[in-house]
Amino acid sequence: MSELPVVLAISGASGAIYGKEIFDRLAETGRKLHLVITPTAEQIIKDELDIGMEYFRREGVVRHDNSRFDSPIASGSYPTAGMIIAPCSMGCLGRIAAGVSSDLVGRAADVHLKEGRGLALVPRETPLSAIHIENMLRLKRAGAVILPAMPAFYGKPQSVIDLVQTVTGRVFDNLGININSGPRYKGNV
């Protein structure tokens, strides 16, 4: 497992719990984590999870202001193990697809694509418009991994967190981050 830092962005879509679960699992490994929470996400985290921003104050976690670009993660010269955006709003996804680096999340995502590093996006929206689908295709072709917030049920989830982990486990797998989060399908044979 690469011990390079991971970048985690939480944007303003419903499903803040996906971002929190990824944060929790990464933070407990003790590896360095660069965290960006968009202003809309701050509000949604409070509304959906009843936690404040102090929750994200942990050793090894560096929180960045989304409106500032004087951050190491804004530069391709700063090595990382990859970047996760969970949940990823369609606004955020659209800006990245268009190459509009108008905030730190967009710039860091742009850097991960241009450097050919892992970029995992967890979009949450329904139904999807043609624009959403085209933006996802554009990002997939540019090298991103699209992991929609579509939980799996084959493990007979008993709780919300069980469901959430069916998505977040795939995120870690796809970035090659060795965190065992959630059950795996074992088949019937």
Ligand X SMILES: Cc1cc2nc3c(=O)[nH]c(=O)nc-3n(C[C@H](O)[C@H](O)[C@H](O)COP(=O)(O)O)c2cc1C
Is residue 151 involved in binding ligand X (CB under 6 A)? Answer: no
What's the rounded Cα separation, in Å, for the pair 69 and 81? 20
Q: Which residue is nearest to ligand X (CB)?
A: 12
Q: How far apart are the first and last CA of the chain?
A: 31
- Considering the rule CB under 6 A, would residue 169 count as an interface residue with ligand X? no
Q: Which of 11, 165, 166, 181 binds ligand X (CB under 6 A)?
A: 11
Give the x/- contact pattern for ligand X in 109-148, rule: CB under 6 A: ---------------xx-----------------------
State both tokens at 81.
Answer: 């193990």
Q: CB-wise, 32 or 132, nearer to ligand X?
A: 132
Burial of 45 (0-12, 13-18, 19+ CB in 10 A): buried
Of 147, 140, 142, the residue nearest 172 (C-alpha): 147
In the complex, the smallest distance separating the C-beta of residue 55 from ligand X, rounded to whole angstroms, is: 18
CA-wise closest residue to 150 among 128, 131, 179: 128
Looking only at residues 12 through 31 of this chain, which bind ligand X when binding is defined by CB under 6 A? 12-14
Helix then strand count (H, E) for the chain reads 6, 6
**Residue at 46: amino acid letter:** K
5 binds ligand X (CB under 6 A): no
In this complex, which beta carbon is closest to ligand X, that of residue 11 or of residue 181?
11
Q: Which residues bind ligand X (CB under 6 A)?
A: 11-14, 38, 40-41, 44, 89-92, 124-125
